[in-house]
Amino acid sequence: MYHAFSFYNGELGFYIRSIGHFDYAPGEMGRRKTVDFGEIFWCISGSGYFHDHEGKTHILQPNWVWYYPPGSTHIFGAASEHFHYRWLTIDGPLAAHLFAGFNIAPGMTFAGLCPEEYFERIASAISDPSRMPDMLCNAVSILSKINSGTGKNVTSGGSIAAAARALIDQHFRDAKLNVEYIADKLGRHRVSVARDFKLMYGISISSYIQSCRYQEAFYLIRETKLPLAEIPARCGFSSINYLSRVIRTTTGITPGELRRSGK
């Protein structure tokens, strides 16, 4: 894990101030501070908690971004066994306008997988002030990713369907995951979440959850040596009997036969 600062002292209206890559342990928190630059936090794994300007706590999960605009008080920390994230700060008199230009609102936004290559490019150049234009190009790519088709601020009426899919992709291995759980996490009614998901992806939430679990089980059966009896609990199925029925219905053979066919 690392953090690095730029030595830029030019006259651009906005510039890269610093960049980092951290993995917080349980109980660790960032130093409480009020700053005059904008900062984004892109969660890669685990989860973190963030306080907004009203003091409300929000949980940041993988594929989500938190944005603190210039003038904000930063209060955040690990909310799970670990909190792995990348962060980027942009300073200068026009920094806030840059974020606003990409329609990135303060708070939490679903943005998809972190484009780590852009962060790495900035990190490799940050010690050389002459490379600030190159760094800004990569920063613009990061901000564009946040404001891509799925990058909508949830508290501003953004894509609930995309947010639901992100939760499923992260938690489908939990046998308790269902529409009610997802709706509760998103603060929406289950009917509206299910409707929006079906409209956007052409498949029901329950079918998508089942598909994620099946693909994981198929991989574990074919590509690992895990005992078959342990696989259901690792991919969200309630029992080996239920998983066997799903595998037989889909492939026409048992999990044991499926494993042997992959040898």
pLDDT digits (tens, 9 = 90+) for 112-126: 788 999 999 999 999
Q: Could you read off the pLDDT of 169-227 as tens digits, one per residue?
A: 888 999 999 999 998 888 788 998 999 888 877 788 998 898 888 888 888 888 888 99
- The Cα 18–Cα 31 span in angstroms is 16
For position 179, what pLDDT does the model report?
Answer: 94
Q: Could you give the maximum distance between any two Cα atoms of the chain, in Å?
A: 68
> Which tokens belong to 186?
């998103």
Residue entry with tokens 């613009």: 140
How confident is the model over 52-79, as pLDDT tens digits?
888 887 878 888 899 999 999 999 988 8
CA gap 41, 57 in Å, rounded: 15
Position 161 scores a pLDDT of: 83
Q: Tell me the C-alpha distance between 237 and 173, whole Å.
A: 8
**Is 1.10.10.60 the CATH classification of the domain at 207-261?**
yes
What's the pLDDT score for residue 259?
86
Domain ranges in the chain are 2-152, 160-202, 207-261
Indicate the CATH number for domain 2-152.
Answer: 2.60.120.280
Mean pLDDT across the chain, nearest whole number?
Answer: 86
Q: What is the pLDDT of residue 27?
A: 64
Q: Residue 61: which residues within 8 A CB-CB, separation 6 or more?
A: 43, 47, 166, 167, 170
pTM of the model: 0.60
